[in-house]
Amino acid sequence: MDDWHFATQLNQARAIRFAIEHMRSHRAICKGAVVWQFNDCWPVTSWAALDSAGRRKPLWYALQQAFDPRLLTIQPRGEKLAAVAVNERTLFWRSKISGKRMRLDGTVLAEFEFWRLLCDRFEAKEFELADDIATPKNAEDEVIVVQMLDKRAFHYFVEDVDLKLPKPEIKVEVKPVSGGAEVIVTAESFLKDLCLLADRLNPSAVVDSMLITLLPGESHVFRIQTERVIAATDIVPGVVLRCANDLLA
């Protein structure tokens, strides 16, 4: 039941994010999107981002990411793939753009670096990925990762059911802070769409981020607002910490 509950919320978050990123990448012909729906007013299974108690579902965080004024996404363009930078700010976005095709164990198979991509105000700028980046040798075990400043985009060549996601290996540290705790999660294996389900620690607890994908060796800090004292032993992988790997590994 826990796996089904997490899988349905993950599916919801991904579906909406997929649609929004697609529409935003075509900014020249699509200037916006309306999401149904934001919240529920009674307990129900629905497409809302907040449940009837005001708790944030993974979709809430997916919307936050997909509607960020600066979005980096990887989209199909004909027979090719392109990294698309979308800038809704009033200042231009100019940065090095880099990327790689890699195995899920972290082995880099191909990489590129372009010294400066300029995405002007209220613009979507496409950067076509070279064939050695866009073409997999083993689709079930590879991913494309593209980076532009603090924004990162991923592209998988197959659906999760065919993706050879490894068993999640995670190291967790907890640091008490005013008003809650910081949970530092270090990935010892590739982790896809990592979520910290704060309401499993305390019904009123709120976490600042979800749906974080980490490469082996990377870390992410989840910041939790809660009155409860949190210990590292409370952050149980597969219960409080969930990721797509749990459903397949």
pLDDT at 36: 84
pLDDT at 148: 97
Amino acid type, 148: M
Angle, helices 58-66/2-25, rounded to nearest 10 degrees: 10
According to CATH, what is the number of the domain 2-162?
A: 2.60.40.10
- Say how far apart CA 104 and CA 216 lie, in whole Å: 8
pLDDT at 233: 95
pLDDT at 1: 84
Q: Which two tokens stand for residue 214?
A: 């980490």
Question: Is residue 65 reached through a cis peptide bond, with omega within 30 degrees of 0 on the bond before it?
Answer: no
The full length of the chain comes to 249
Q: Which two tokens stand for residue 179?
A: 């008003």
Which residues, other chains included, contact 31 with Cβ-Cβ below 8 Å and sequence gap of 6+? Answer: none
- Say whether 161 sits in a helix, a strand or coil: helix
Strands (E), the chain: 70-77, 80-87, 93-103, 108-119, 123-128, 142-148, 151-156, 170-177, 180-187, 191-196, 206-207, 212-214, 219-225, 241-242
pLDDT at 37: 87
Q: How many CB atoms lie within 10 A of CB 189?
A: 20
CA distances in angstroms from 249 to 1, 40, 189, listed in the order given: 17, 33, 12
pLDDT at 249: 66
Nearest CA to 130 out of 113, 151, 107 is that of 113
Give the residues across from 74 on adjacent strands. 83
CA distances in angstroms from 221 to 10, 75, 171, 194, 232, listed in the order given: 20, 28, 12, 11, 13
Indicate if 170-247 has the same CATH topology as 2-162. Answer: yes
Cβ 175 vs Cβ 151: under 8 Å: no
pLDDT at 225: 97
Q: What is the mean pLDDT of each run of 10 residues along the chain (249 residues)?
A: 93 96 95 87 91 95 97 97 97 96 98 95 97 98 98 97 96 97 98 97 96 98 96 95 93
Where do the structural domains in the chain lie, given as residue ranges?
2-162, 170-247
pLDDT at 10: 97
pLDDT at 34: 86
Classify domain 170-247 at the CATH topology level: Immunoglobulin-like (2.60.40)
Q: In which residue are the tokens 């976005």 written?
A: 93
pLDDT at 26: 97
pLDDT at 33: 87
